Amino acid sequence: MEQIPDKLTHFNEQGRAVMVDVSDKPVTARTAAAEARITMAPDTLRRIREGSVAKGDVLAVAQVAGIQAAKRTSDWIPMCHPLPLTGVNVRFSDNGKDELTVTAEVKTTGRTGVEMEALTAVSAAALTVYDMCKAIQKDMVIGTIRLLAKTGGVNGDYGAKQPEHE
Residues identified as active-site: 131
Cβ pair 130, 141 in contact under 8 A? no
Cβ pair 151, 29 in contact under 8 A? yes
Cα torsion through 132, 135, 141, 144, rounded to 10 = 0
Angstrom distance (rounded) from CA 85 to CA 117: 9
Angstrom distance (rounded) from CA 109 to CA 153: 10
